[in-house]
Amino acid sequence: MVQFHEHIISDLLEDPTAGGGGLVILSGGLNLHKLIATLTSLHHPSTGTLLILSSTPSQKHSILSSNPNNPNTTISEITSDLSASQRVSLYASGGVFFITARILIVDLLTRRLGVSGVKGIVVMNAHLLNETCTEVFIVRLVRAGNREMCVWAFSDRPHAMVSGFAKAERVLKSLFLRKLHLWPRFQIYVSEDLERDPPEVVDIRVPMSPYMVGIQKAVIEVMDACLKEMRKTNKVDVEDLTVENGLFKSFDEIVKRQLDPIWHTLGKKTKQLVSDLRTLRKLLEYLVRYDAVTYLKYLDSLRASESFRSVWIFAESSYKIFEYAKKRVYHFGRSNGETLTTPTKGVKSKKRKLDFNNKDKEDSQATNTNGNVVLEEVLEEAPKWKVLREILEEIEAEREKQATSVDECVTESFQDDNGIVLVACKDEHSCVQLEECIKSNPNKVMRGEWEKYLLSKVQLHALPKRNKNKTQNQKHKGFGVLDGVVPTTPSKGVEGSTSIITQEHDALLAAATEISKQAQKGIEIIDDPQNCVTTKGRGKGKSRGKNTRSSRNVSNKKDDENKKEAALINESGPSSANEDKEVENIPANENTTSGASFLKKHVDTSVSDKRIPPVHFYAYESGQKVLDILKPSAIVVYHPDIAFVREIEVYKAENPSIKVKVYFLFYEDSTEVQKFEASIRRENGAFESLIRQKSMMILPVDQVAHGLSRNSASETESPSKLNMVTRKAGGQKEASKETQVIVDMREFMSSLPNVLHQKGMNIIPVTLEVGDYILSPTICVERKSIQDLFTSFASGRLYHQVEMMSRYYQIPVLLIEFSQDKSFSFQSTSEISDDVTPYNIISKISLLALHFPRLRIVWSRSLHATAEIFASLKMNQDEPDEAKATRVGVPSEEGVIEDDVRAENYNTSAVEFLRRLPGVTDSNYRAIMDGCSSLADLALLPLEKLAELMGGQKSAKTLRDFLDAKYPTLL
């Protein structure tokens, strides 16, 4: 345990009575999980229960793995699989538990957990909290009955704590805390611990290939053009619209927070620009993460999905992105040496020639005087691949040299070296592909991705087309690219000549078809996904023979020898070692002029026989803390990440006896470097802002007592409301009446129960079959957010829910709740068409209201507005019955019970038949049901009794005439 962790814990525990804990914000990567594990190890079961809220699965795993072996502080997890009695016994044991906010709030409201038995609450991810979240509801409930309880909140996202207005202060007030503890990387205790014995660092700057530089420049130009268009709208703060901010995901949150309230007033172009900026950020990120073939595949999907509505595709520099991405994978030329596109410079090409003549159909195919289309494979490999191989060979060479040395000092200094090399990547698929590159051959990995790309072309072409133009293909009847043949026509001016784009497309499709035919003949392309986290890789590859410390530049003499990286997310794993044999038996004579197409594979003979050490691959997205488990002596940071860099520093500070050497791989002059440096500046700027906020915060002295009273809302009533009662006994206040609301268990995923509790309502959590909120014996509310409303209409679930409410309650209510920070409208004025269609959301709501006349639709613009509406609806109403509400809609095993409201008491078929009789309306059918026990009794009632029940002589006579009418017969 590092010393600054001890300082943090001592600050939290030195004065537990002052606010009962504190909010800790520290830099990312400073091992927050170890800090939590150490804090829980100090807990003793005799003092009460310690609960850990809002932890992610990866955080749970890290805390459990870091927890010291103390039998008194075993951390368990309380899930929904446990019964209520089991949870009660666990609470009584006084241990440390992971628990979700939804389970805990229900157990607190149902008294399964007494607030006096809670010693403390640890709130993880405090940057996600707000005033209406369930975690704040829990803290307020426990604080009201146990003011000695401690609350410790933690966050390692400082930039998220400065988003919005006074986020840190609002979180402190919500959790009833007064102390804010800031622990940045530049804090004196942290910097002393981490810089006392730092690891040896080798900074390697890898030049990007010319095409990668061109793509990056084009994407930045397009992004800058989109940002200029956004500035013209005058809807977003200009200071936030920079290319540097656009490199981070938080940029989407910044723009969304500013545009959400006026989203309905924006035009289609502005909305599309927001989406385009997200796409362009992914293009920059994927350029340095994924291989050339996968990047081209991603661009193809963008071209197909966004070509009609995107703004960035029509920008001036966007064509360069597609052109350069294509040139990284293949070129087109003609068999006579002419080229269709600009030849590659400085890239060794691998040609896959396709002579698309067919001997069987030579009589019906015209000959092109310029020669047939030739597909040249480039398959540019990622520059980092070769450098990674060289680093591993260099590490192995140094270890062999040290093993042969007889110097005892060297032997002692490396006695803790277990020989493990850790390679850290962004995602799992990068780990899989890098492992395959190291174990086998980068050329084989690229070829496997290329052939899967071609096979996907065949599968895409095999899909049925909606608009086929058959007249164009009649000129070349009997020919087709699926047969490996590209029909060419003699040039007859500009109009008759085949376009270059069409020829390239046909040639690519013909190459894909040839690969498909080979696969069908037994030349298989096998996918072999590997487990990339703990697999040891030992293989052969190319070597550089250079050993440079501190900082070194990698030459860019041959771009085609650079190794390529990472398959796209959800893409299949790397190809197996059998792919090298797939075209060995195919004749490869470049001067052949026969009609049969052939494939020629480039043979790479420059294979190094140098050994590499055992390699373990680690993905940041897995969230696992592997440094303490593997204890590597060499770490290769393939994708730089500021949080992982801090983890390495803490790992070295905790293990000073291990000599750690770290290699950083950066693409020189790339957005990768810019993003890494910007992340450091952004974190430092966030802490500087928090330090200024801390110096100016205004917090109540007794934060715990402030705002806990349920009557706080009534104490702050407006003067107009107070003046309304001045004529009643000289302004005497009426006795406050405790109101209660029955809430369905599933509704605790939302924040509305918290707001209702703040308004002074007593929340009763039960499992409801009908409705979400029961306000009175006659009022049932089904709450729908905007997103849930659309999905409920699409699935038909809303119709069934309204039908059930109308059957069992006199006043069914559909509550449509909008978000407070978004527009209070379904659609913008530009989206409302003149035609009335049944697929429009307004049309669906209108049809629902017509079908259920008793349904009341309530519109609410926020959670607090909903609470006010509920309070208004409950005025002069009886309180709901919990036992009765839980039985509504629940089948009974005992059958029909007198005066019960279960489903069996209602003969739904008979009720529907009654409502369809002449003269029976929605206003009188319930009175008819109360006046007679069955349809048979209804048929025997006299006219006077029917008039009394139906509320009029006319309706009664209509029904009586219908019942007494003779049945027509043919006799």
Most confident of the ranges 235-239, 290-294, 464-468, 892-896? 290-294
- pTM of the full predicted structure? 0.73
Higher pLDDT, residue 605 or 896: 896
pLDDT band for position 912 (50/70/90)? Answer: confident
Assigned token pair, 116: 């006096």
Tens-place pLDDT, residues 205-241: 999 999 999 999 998 888 888 888 877 777 776 666 7
Tens-place pLDDT, residues 445-458: 888 888 888 877 76
If you search the block for the tokens 């939290």, which residue do you land on?
12
CA distance 581 to 718: 83
584-588, 624-628, 935-939: which has the minimum mean pLDDT? 584-588
pLDDT attached to residue 308:
63
For the chain, give the percent of residues with pLDDT over 90. 20
22-36, 296-310, 846-860: which has the minimum mean pLDDT? 296-310
Would you list the DSSP string of 433-486? HHHHHHHS-HHHHHHHHHHHHHHHHHHHHHSPPSS--HHHHGGGTT--GGGT--
pLDDT attached to residue 189:
92
pLDDT attached to residue 245:
72
**Average pLDDT, whole number, for the chain?**
75
pLDDT band for position 688 (50/70/90)? Answer: very high
pLDDT attached to residue 351:
44
CA distance 47 to 72: 12
Q: What is the mean pLDDT of residues 646-652?
A: 92
DSSP reduced 3-state for 674: helix
pLDDT band for position 13 (50/70/90)? Answer: confident
CA distance 222 to 467: 33
| Residue 558 scores a pLDDT above 60 | no
| Residue 590 scores a pLDDT above 60 | no
DSSP reduced 3-state for 375: strand
| Residue 609 scores a pLDDT above 70 | no
C-beta of residue 329 within 8 angstroms of C-beta of residue 382: no
Tens-place pLDDT, residues 149-190: 889 999 999 998 988 788 899 999 888 888 899 999 999 999
Hey, how many other C-beta atoms are within 10 angstroms of the C-beta on 871?
Answer: 17
pLDDT attached to residue 903:
52
Residues 395-408 as b or e (16 or more Cβ within 10 Å = b): bbbebeeeeeeeee
CA distance 705 to 942: 68
DSSP reduced 3-state for 640: coil
C-beta of residue 432 within 8 angstroms of C-beta of residue 532: yes
Q: What is the mean pLDDT of residues 823-849?
A: 76
CA distance 759 to 900: 32
Hey, how many other C-beta atoms are within 10 angstroms of the C-beta on 705?
Answer: 12
pLDDT attached to residue 215:
92
CA distance 282 to 273: 14
C-beta of residue 897 within 8 angstroms of C-beta of residue 884: no
pLDDT attached to residue 192:
92
Tens-place pLDDT, residues 335-375: 555 555 444 443 444 444 444 344 333 333 333 334 566 77
pLDDT attached to residue 675:
87
The residue type at 123: V
Dmax of the chain from CA atoms? 122
| Residue 837 scores a pLDDT above 80 | no
For the chain, give the percent of residues with pLDDT over 70. 69
Who contacts 263 (Cβ-Cβ below 8 Å, separation ≥6)? 271, 822, 823, 828
If you search the block for the tokens 């410079």, which residue do you land on?
345
CA distance 841 to 825: 11
| Residue 464 scores a pLDDT above 90 | no
pLDDT attached to residue 516:
66
pLDDT attached to residue 713:
43
pLDDT attached to residue 813:
93
Tens-place pLDDT, residues 702-721: 666 555 554 444 444 444 45
Q: What is the mean pLDDT of residues 925-947?
A: 88
φ, ψ for residue 123, nearest 5 deg:
-105, 115
121-130, 296-305, 596-605: which has the minimum mean pLDDT? 596-605
136-140, 362-366, 662-666, 851-855: which has the minimum mean pLDDT? 362-366
Tens-place pLDDT, residues 420-434: 899 999 989 889 889
C-beta of residue 335 within 8 angstroms of C-beta of residue 371: yes
| Residue 147 scores a pLDDT above 50 | yes
CA distance 200 to 375: 47
| Residue 122 scores a pLDDT above 70 | yes
Q: What is the mean pLDDT of residues 839-865?
A: 88
CA distance 901 to 884: 7
If you search the block for the tokens 């005066």, which residue do you land on?
899
CA distances from 546 to 393, 561, 611 (A): 10, 16, 15
